[in-house]
Amino acid sequence: MRKQRTISEIVKVSGIGVHTGKKVDVVIEPAPENTGIVFHRTDKNVFIKANQVNVVDTTLSTTLGINGIYVKTVEHLLSSLYALNIDNCIIKIDNEEVPILDGSSASWVYLLKSASFVEQKHYKKVLIVTKPVKIKDSGKFVALLPCRKFKISYSISFDGTFINKQKYELEINEQSFIKEISKARTFCFLRDIEYMQQNNLALGGSLDNAVVVDDYGIANEDPLRYENEFVRHKILDAIGDLSILNYDIKTHYIAYKSGHNLNYRLVSSLLEDKKSYVIIGSPKQETQILENLGYLSPVVG
């Protein structure tokens, strides 16, 4: 187990929301231990904690909300915070959507690492998956399996397109996230942009913040950052969606053609089944629980 962390300096950034197209200013401030990740809509003076209860929409992104006040497209920032082991901070935001920046987590990682980190007194609690939780729906599949580590195996399939089939697997930690995942950008198909904009989505999207796929390849002048950038971005999104558990996670997450909605349903299914996981709050408790369960020997991974 590790101690909780916050940032040591304030982080400031401005940008536009990829779906709303609205300009937004963000200020990330340090917070005391056990605060968690809390969004403060400063224009409404409403605080919204990043947790499963406050997820109100999963259409093309993850939206948190309370009483009709929202913070949209939180997954890239939450993914970065989780991977960098930043557990406590207040995110002040003066509009309804987190800025998309370049469509990846790279800018968030740079800004947060530049602020540096402060180790706090209390331990970060760990959630260990102890039995499989699975969902199948319309040819899609997602699961959480017992594992000693946090590992992700992800497969996508866009037959007949430039993307085609891609898969990627890795253990998630700060170093692997920064090197292998953080620079992967969000993506969309050129044919879908008009439909999304007619439905008030992707109003702030551009070739500067997304990889746009057409019939021949990508419309962007800049090349792909990874050969399989598309599946790596899906992993980035999944980390953000799972991070709202607010624990360090020990599980093998497996997904085929998953997305924000299926991730939300998976986390909900996990939390509803109290026998599918254990929560560990201290190193002593960790040893006791693992010995009592006989957990380490049969675990996968």
Q: Kindly report the length of the chain.
A: 301
Q: Is 233 labelled as part of a ligand binding site? A: yes
Catalytic residue among 19, 40, 252, 260: 260
Please give the Cα distance from 37 to 89 (Å, whole number): 5
Helix locations, the chain, DSSP H: 75-83, 106-115, 174-176, 190-198, 229-243, 260-272, 283-293
260 is known as an active-site residue: yes
SS3 256: strand
Q: Of 73, 111, 106, 102, which is closest to residue 222 (Cα–Cα)?
A: 102
| Closest listed residue to residue 243, CA positions, set 101, 119, 93, 87 | 87
Selection from 219, 230, 256 nearest residue 164 by Cα: 230
Bridge partners of residue 143, in order along the sequence = 134, 254
* 237 annotated binding-site participant: yes
Q: Which residues are annotated as a binding site?
A: 76, 233, 237
Active site amino acids:
260
Q: Which residues are annotated as a binding site for Zn(2+)?
A: 76, 233, 237
